[in-house]
Structure 1
Amino acid sequence: MPSSIRLKRISDRIKEDLSELLLKGVQDPRLTGVQVTDVRVDRELTFADVFVSAVEGQVRKKEVLSGLEHASGFLRSQLAANIELRTFPRLRFHWDPTPERADHIERLLASLRHEAASAPQAEKQEDDETEDSAGNE
């Protein structure tokens, strides 16, 4: 069994090469805009779990995963030609919701910042109105 450092290097290499393949070597229109977010290889080098996401997010999840499953034989053979391993792991594709979650959190933080920035102005206007009404009496 390979060491954890070797497994990490193999995973990183698969991620890099697969990202490049998806960018330049695949003609399937279902796979445009697909990003490889992570690759995890098991200790026996039997499977490589590939986590992907797309620019459009959840809308294309089924389409992207079916395209990847359809191209998995081609992708595996191309990767095996570039990465020297005795046996190359089978690719299993999974959807990674992390980018969509991060985008959602960013939007929430931006709205909180906007509310916080507008709150002092509203308080100042209320204070000015209170002072004006107190001065007029």
Structure 2
Amino acid sequence: MHSVRQLLEGKAARVISVAQETPVLEVIRLMAEHGIGSVLVMRGDQLIGIATERDYARKVILKGRSSQDTPVSDVMSSPVISVSPGDDVRHCMQIVTERRIRHLPVLEDGAVVGLISIGDLLKWVIEEQKQEIEQLQQYIAG
């Protein structure tokens, strides 16, 4: 079984975060600039929420709110569903599937140590299946 820690070792460590009073427009700019679909909302070192493209579409655009005048704290998802570095990757797949979410912050002793996406998890599943197929082909060719 692979752990979240192993998954994090294979990706860039940068996690983009903002303060709770940051205007939604700035959050969307950051997402576009970094090619990401979510940012963490922090109060100092404490994770208090996550803002996603889905939050923007549903809580700003559809409600006719101003992106410039709305603080991210008004539209973020909270409490945040998170995982720890020791969690199994399959467990994370179950969480994102059942909860219909795309991003999981990784917390260790209350501190953010990373962020994994459904794309990261799918990449792992594909690689694991590829290895299984290769092992079965080797066994059959024996």
TM value normalised by structure 1: 0.36
- Higher-RCO chain (CA-CA 8 Å, sequence separation at least 6): 2
Q: Name the structure with the higher strand share.
A: 2
* Rg larger for: 1
